[in-house]
Amino acid sequence: MIKVKNLVKKFNDKVVLNNINTTFEPGKVNLVIGRSGSGKTVFMKCLLGLLTPEEGELFYGNKDFYSLSEKEQKNIRKEMGVVFQSGAIFDFLDVEGNVRFPLDMFSNMTQKEKIDRVNYCLEKVNLQGTNKLKSSELSGGMKKRLAIARSIALNPKYLFCDEPNSGLDPQNAVTIDELIYNLTHEFNTTTIVNTHDMNSVIKIGEKVIFLYEGHLWWEGSNENILKTDNKELIDFIFASSLAQKLLKTS
């Protein structure tokens, strides 16, 4: 479980995250939604420890992450799997090398065990047989799936995905959503996904938090998000012309 208490993040005098309080439970897909510039990526970077907030506490289990030593923080990071917005695929390694990288660095597996694990992870994301491809030979969707495969190589307790669907066609986006949902339930991970894709919200958002101008504006699930009377959230959900048409016809 991840618990966030009174988190405040500023850049110079600009408050980007203002007093955020929330909890992310294991075995659930937690979505963080909001307009571009609402602070989603900053929030995720604070959760990952890549940015240090001015105020607040962050608990991984019962450990206050920000008060831990660098070594203790590293130990928690080894339990994290992260899918960055760009994929962040290591371009100096091939597909197999990317998935194998965390295993090489942190496991004591034999070569055969590593290869088996790589193949298992690639199979999970439907990339079997692509072991020797270079990152430049992969499509956008394949890169995202490879990033997911790398992030699950060490069986993470916490899975973070920053806009995993951005730049993908609707079918690939659905595939990625299903993948994240299945992995979360299969391995009981605490999954946090930044997105502004409403399909993802409806399909996999077991818990949804809406960030608006740096505030946690709304919190709920995909079941009650469409029943909300929160004006800012409604404006966000039904911003696209397709959604507006559906709203009018319903």
Partner 1 sequence: MNLFEGITDYLLVMKKTFTRPVKFKTMVQQIVHEMYYLGVESLPIVCFLSLFIGIVVMIQIAFQMESPLIPKYTAGFITRVVIIYEFSPTIMSMLLSGRVGSRIAAEIGTMKVTEQIDALEVMGINSASYLILPKIIAFVLIMPVIITFSIFCGLFGGYLITMITGEIPTSEYFYGLRAFFTSFEITYALIKSLFFGFIITSISGYYGYIVEGGALEVGKNSTKAMVQSSIFIIIFDVILTQIFLG
- Interface positions with partner 1 (CB under 8 A): 45, 48-50, 73-75, 77-78, 80, 82, 84-86, 88-91, 101-102, 104-106, 160
Return the H-helix or E-strand segment holding 193: strand 190-195
Q: Which is nearer to partner 1, 48 or 225 (CB)?
A: 48
CB of 246 to partner 1, least distance (A): 35
Q: Is 216 helix (H, G, I), strand (E, B) or coil?
A: strand
Q: Which is nearer to partner 1, 156 or 205 (CB)?
A: 156
DSSP 157: S
How would you list the strands of the sheet with 215-220, edge to edge?
80-83, 158-162, 190-195, 28-33, 207-212, 215-220
CB of 88 to partner 1, least distance (A): 4
Q: Is 42 helix (H, G, I), strand (E, B) or coil?
A: helix
Q: Is 8 helix (H, G, I), strand (E, B) or coil?
A: strand
Q: Which is nearer to partner 1, 48 or 198 (CB)?
A: 48
Q: Which is nearer to partner 1, 153 or 168 (CB)?
A: 153
Q: What angle do CA 46, 49, 55 make, to 5 degrees?
A: 50
E strand map for 196-249: 207-212, 215-220
Q: Which is nearer to partner 1, 82 or 168 (CB)?
A: 82
Q: What angle do CA 138, 141, 145 make, to 5 degrees?
A: 90
* Angle at which helices 111-124 and 95-106 cross, to 10°: 130
CB of 190 to partner 1, least distance (A): 15
CB of 102 to partner 1, least distance (A): 6
CB of 240 to partner 1, least distance (A): 28
Q: Which is nearer to partner 1, 43 or 160 (CB)?
A: 160
Which two tokens mark 100? 């194998």
Buried residues in 99-112 as b, exposed as e (16+ CB within 10 A)? bbebbeeeeeeeee
CB of 223 to partner 1, least distance (A): 32
CB of 180 to partner 1, least distance (A): 17
Q: Which is nearer to partner 1, 89 or 198 (CB)?
A: 89
